[in-house]
Structure 1
């Protein structure tokens, strides 16, 4: 029976490509499901054989540790160089999106606090 190795929800394409290459290099049989049209399912990478799943999981764990260390080092270097994304750089790059997000958050907070103010009497 097939087992899910990687859910592709919010996974960058380069990471999914790396996982596919990892499975190909280890000669582990897998298949991939695509996201549904309505966004119910995000798709995934599935290992077809139960016996190979433990090896795939171990290889995946090693890959994720290496990727985590690499991405953290890249972020630290960008932060040190002053090129890391901050709220101010995001605001300068896309002010409409930032303002709309803040307004949405304030609106949601307002809706949540309405019962408190109405029941306070």
Structure 2
């Protein structure tokens, strides 16, 4: 029986490629499923043999700890250099998206709170 090692939902392409390379380097057979057309499934990396599960999970855990450390260091350096993206920059880059989110949140709050506000 196959085992899902990594769900590819919100996984950057470079990370997925590094995981594939890690599995190939350690000769762990795997296959990959593609995301569905309708966005129900986001694809994944599956182990072909259940016997490899523990070894692959240990490798993946070490890899993710190292990647997490590297990403934190990159972000800290970007903040020191002043090149890290701020919320204000993102709002300026995508004003329509920000306005849409603000409208959606306001609408949800109104739908949620109006029944309670009109009770008394």
Fold shared per TM-score above 0.5: yes
5+ residue gaps, structure 1: none
Q: Could you tell me which residue of structure 2 aligns to residue 106 of structure 1? A: 106
CA distance in structure 2 between the partners assigned to 1:99 and 1:40 by the alignment: 27
CA distance in structure 2 between the partners assigned to 1:106 and 1:69 by the alignment: 37
Q: TM-score if structure 1 supplies the norm length?
A: 0.94
CA distance in structure 2 between the partners assigned to 1:92 and 1:9 by the alignment: 27
5+ residue gaps, structure 2: none
Number of residues of Structure 1 aligned to a counterpart in Structure 2 = 120
CA distance in structure 1 between the partners assigned to 2:94 and 2:40 by the alignment: 29
Q: TM-score if structure 2 supplies the norm length?
A: 0.95
> Is residue 13 from structure 1 mapped to residue 13 from structure 2 by the alignment?
yes
Instruction: Name the Cα RMSD after superposition.
Output: 1.0
Q: Which runs of 4+ in 1 moved over 6 A?
A: none
Deviation of the 1:118 alpha carbon: 2.1
Q: Could you tell me which residue of structure 2 aligns to residue 24 of structure 1? A: 24
